[in-house]
Amino acid sequence: MADLLLGIDVGTGGCKALLIDPQGDVLAHATTEYPLATPKPLWSEQDPERWWQATAASISQVLAAANVRPDRVAGVGLTGQMHGLVLLDDTGAVLRPAILWNDQRCAAECDEIHKRIGRDTLIARTGKPALAGFTAPKILWVRTHEPAVFSAATTMLLPKDFVRYRLSGRKLSDVADASGTSLFDVGARRWSDEIIDALEVPRAWLPEVTESPVISSAVSADGAAASGLLQGTPIVGGAGDQAAEAVGCGVVDDGAVSVTIGTSGVVFAATRRMTPDPAGLLHAYCHAAPGLWHVMGVMLSAGGSLRWYRDTIGGVSYDTLTAAAATVPAGCEGLLFLPYLTGERTPHADPLARGAFVGLTLRHDKPYLTRAVLEGVAFGLKDSLELVRELGVHVSRVRLSGGGARSAMWRQLMADVFDLDVVTVNVTQGAAFGAALLAGVGIGTWPDVVEATRAVVRETDSVSPGADAAVYQDVYLRYRKLYPALAFGNGVGYG
């Protein structure tokens, strides 16, 4: 009987395949890595064919690890890195390496988009200003700098959708992932003819778009031969990695909020209506759950700040560092850490912002430095939470996921800094798990995305604010003064 669900996550470092049963239990998972190329300063590229090869390998590995026949797989859900540009010619061949979400070559093209459309109009339609990492600026860059490639192109796909094309032969996308292109009317959940025409992007390039849990394609004969799946296995629309991660964590109700701490940090709030931030500091997208949208703030160096500290100063394991930091009083006796080690996106949208320790004295040894880093990351995430509140979202609790959620000490610190209950859930596989749930909705395992998450996502721990919460309210106000005082960057941010 076909009852198992396959989630595929086409990440920046590798492709993960994950197989779950209808109870949400993970039967097996496998990851196949691939390289990232930086051929010039600010450039970040990958070969899309390596994504497909890694996907096929991971699927084969996960079927073997679970010891199941391919006819047990009832549906496939896709997710992956967002914003990447893949261009195909009329034979379906890749024309150039994919330009990725973290590529920064397109500053001039962002200015051109704002000039052609107007920044306020762009935010109102797409939910966000133009940023170098988004897809539309990359299209304009190719048109200017690689005209032969532009002329030969007939199709534009996002990373996971290129994998879908190789797996099914269909050129499709979904509303959640398309929301990150700067070509999509997020409120109307469709491509924006207004923006497409203003930017002179060929309309024929753009794939058909469906809702995330809708069956939109099926495994082809070629896809089956490469992956080991059964020809005809249904594939749903899927979602970009952040929306799929939210599904996997159960953040699918109006007002539900999650914080995910990986290398970067993401504050994600589900909303019943499209709620753009007029200042463009938070970004609005279609959610993977039909009828919902979400706003999102991104901190570029969350877990990345702690990793940098461990590798350069700390010199011991994360557990050892946090255990020592737990002995230090809240506020670190005046020591503050600004976590802008790779610039910042929210709330400052400033690639020139820089990190700093401020307030050092002879008393501040490694445990103090460690706690200052943990507090600085929490304050940076609180910036996004405050912006979410300013949009009218009532935040009563936060679901925490990612590597940072594993530390009990950091969970308590965040509850105190946020002055909110912080809860964790049983799901640790993130976006791939969410993609598998979307597949389950598509084939009818559950009637909708909300019911899918209620069936399998369970809270495992809850931490309430303690006595340190009052201390942190004052420390946070001092933290907010650091960025404008140090003036490393462009000064865009706090009003």
Q: Helices 159-168 & 48-66, crossing angle to 10 degrees?
A: 70
> Is the per-residue pLDDT at 130 higher than 90?
yes
Q: Are 99 and 45 in contact (CB under 8 A)?
A: yes
Q: Are 248 and 397 in contact (CB under 8 A)?
A: no
Where do runs of H (alpha helix) occur along 396-448?
408-418, 430-443
List, in order, residues 6 or more apart from 314 with CB less than 8 Å away.
Answer: 321, 366, 369, 370
Confidence of residue 494 (pLDDT cuts 50, 70, 90): low
In the chain, pLDDT over 90 holds for what percent of residues?
A: 91
Rounded to the nearest integer, the mean pLDDT of the chain is 95
Q: What is the pLDDT of residues 260-272, one digit of tens each?
A: 998 889 999 999 9
Q: Are 353 and 343 in contact (CB under 8 A)?
A: yes
pLDDT at position 289, please?
Answer: 98
Average pLDDT over residues 415-432: 94
Domains of the chain (ranges; CATH) run 4-243 (3.30.420.40), 251-426+465-495 (3.30.420.40)
Phi/psi at 462 (nearest 5 deg)? -140, 130
> Is the per-residue pLDDT at 327 higher than 90?
yes
List, in order, residues 6 or more apart from 485 with CB less than 8 Å away.
Answer: none
pLDDT at position 490, please?
Answer: 56
> Is the per-residue pLDDT at 207 higher than 60?
yes
List, in order, residues 6 or more apart from 85 with CB less than 8 Å away.
Answer: 98, 99, 135, 138, 139, 142, 156
Q: Are 349 and 280 in contact (CB under 8 A)?
A: yes
> Is the per-residue pLDDT at 374 higher than 90?
yes
> Is the per-residue pLDDT at 467 higher than 60?
yes
d(CA 138, CA 125): 19
Q: Which of 198, 254, 258, 202 is nearest to 89 (CA)?
A: 202
> Please, what is the end-to-end C-alpha distance for the chain in angstroms?
58
In the chain, pLDDT over 70 holds for what percent of residues?
A: 98
> Is the per-residue pLDDT at 495 higher than 80?
no
Q: What is the pLDDT of residues 169-188, one digit of tens each?
A: 999 999 999 999 999 999 99
Q: What is the pLDDT of residues 50-102, one digit of tens each?
A: 999 999 999 999 999 999 999 999 999 999 999 999 999 999 999 999 999 98
pLDDT at position 16, please?
Answer: 97
Q: Are 129 and 122 in contact (CB under 8 A)?
A: yes
232: left (phi over 0), alpha (psi -120 to 50) or beta: left
Q: Does the annotation mark 25 as catalytic? A: no
Dihedral over alpha carbons 20, 26, 32, 33 (to 10 degrees): 120
Dihedral over alpha carbons 435, 34, 26, 233 (to 10 degrees): 50
pLDDT at position 489, please?
Answer: 56
Q: Are 51 and 15 in contact (CB under 8 A)?
A: yes
> Is the per-residue pLDDT at 351 higher than 90?
no
Enumerate long-range contacts of 388-392, CB under 8 Å, 24 or more apart: 388/257, 388/267, 388/269, 388/282, 388/295, 388/297, 391/269, 391/275, 391/277, 391/282, 391/295, 392/275
> Is the per-residue pLDDT at 228 higher than 80?
yes
d(CA 233, CA 76): 7
Confidence of residue 342 (pLDDT cuts 50, 70, 90): confident
What predicted TM-score, i.e. pTM, was given to this entire model? 0.92
pLDDT at position 403, please?
Answer: 83
CA angle 73, 75, 81 (to 5 degrees): 115
Q: What is the pLDDT of residues 238-296, one digit of tens each?
A: 999 999 999 999 999 999 999 999 888 999 999 999 999 999 999 999 999 999 999 99
Least confident of 38-47, 217-226, 480-489: 480-489
Confidence of residue 454 (pLDDT cuts 50, 70, 90): very high
The residue ranges of DSSP E strands in 129-202, in sequence order, are 155-157, 172-174, 184-185, 190-191
Confidence of residue 345 (pLDDT cuts 50, 70, 90): confident
pLDDT at position 79, please?
Answer: 98
> Is the per-residue pLDDT at 428 higher than 90?
no
List, in order, residues 6 or more apart from 95 with CB less than 8 Å away.
Answer: 87, 88, 89, 149, 152, 153
> Is the per-residue pLDDT at 215 higher than 60?
yes
> Is the per-residue pLDDT at 40 higher than 80?
yes
Query: By CB neighbour count within 10 A (0-12 exposed, 13-18 middle, 19+ buried), where does 454 fall?
Result: middle
Q: Which of 370, 413, 128, 129 is nearest to 259 (CA)?
A: 413
Q: Which of 256, 277, 242, 257 is nearest to 431 (CA)?
A: 242
Among candidate residues 241, 350, 383, 468, the one labeled active-site is 241
